[in-house]
Amino acid sequence: MKHQDSSHLSFPHFCIFAGMNNFSHIIFDLDGTLSDNTRGIAASVKYALDKMQVDGFNGKLPDGFIGPPLQHGFKNLFGLNERNTQLAVEYFREYYSVHGLFENDPYPGVSEMLEELHFAGKQLFIATSKLEKFAAQISEHFGFDKYIVQLKGADYKGDHATKTTIISHLLESRQLAPSKNMAMVGDTVFDMEGGKENGLTTIAVSYGFGKREELQKTDPDFWADDVEELFQILR
C-alpha cells in the first residue's frame, strides 16, 4: 500500500525525521493508552452494581479500577466477595457488550500515529487485560485493526489476565524472542511490570489512568506526556 502524504494528518510534523530507537515491534495497551473508555466502564459498573442492589457508587470510578482485570477491581476496590465479584463481572459485560464498548474516545492523534508507524514498517500489537472479544470490537470500531498485526486480551474467566501473562502469550504465539528492540507502551504499573518481566523496553504514558508516582517507581525506559511525544519515541 502506498504511504499517504503526511500533510493530510493532523500533526504532519511527526514525519519529518526518522526516529533513533529503531523499535521493530511495538505492543500497546488499549484503555488509557490508545483510547479513553472511562464513560463506558463507569456506566457498566453502575449497571452491574444497580442490578446487584449495591449502593454507594456515585459514578466516579475508584483510582486503579481501569487497567487490571475486572475481577481485581470489583474484589479489591469495591470489596465484593468471590461470588459477588463473578456476578458483578457478568452484569458488567452484559451492559458493556452492547453499549459500553462504544462509549469510548480514542486519544487525539492515535489513529494517525498507528498509521504512520505501520507505513514505517513497524509491527504493531495490542495487549490488554480487557476481554479479548471486546478489545477486538473496539479495535475494529475505531479502525485500529488496519494497523495491528495481532491483538491479545484476557480470557472469559480472567484466569490468564495479568499483563505479564498476556504479553508472554502474545510473544509465544508470534514465536518472538524478547528484545530491547521491542517496546511495551502503557499507562499503568501492570504494563510496565509486564514489559520488564518479558524483557522488553518499557514506555510509560502519563495521559492515561495510571498515577505518575506509581509509574515512576517501575523505572520505565521512556516517558511520553501526550501522543505526539509517544510518536517521537516510537518512530
Kindly list the catalytic residues.
Answer: 29
For CA atoms 157, 171, 151, 166, the dihedral sign is positive
Measured CA to CA, the distance from residue 115 to residue 27 in angstroms comes to 15
Q: Tell me if 107 sits within 8 A of 231, measured CB to CB.
A: no
Q: Is beta strand 105-106 parallel, antiparallel or unpaired with respect to 35-36?
A: antiparallel
How many CB atoms sit inside 10 A of residue 80's CB? Answer: 21
H helices of 3-131, in order, are 38-51, 70-76, 82-96, 110-119
For CA atoms 144, 46, 206, 28, the dihedral sign is negative
| Backbone phi and psi for residue 125, each to the nearest 5 degrees, phi listed first | -140, 160
Amino acid at 166: I
Measured CA to CA, the distance from residue 112 to residue 77 in angstroms comes to 35
Distant-in-sequence, close-in-space partners of 175: CB < 8 Å, separation ≥ 6: none
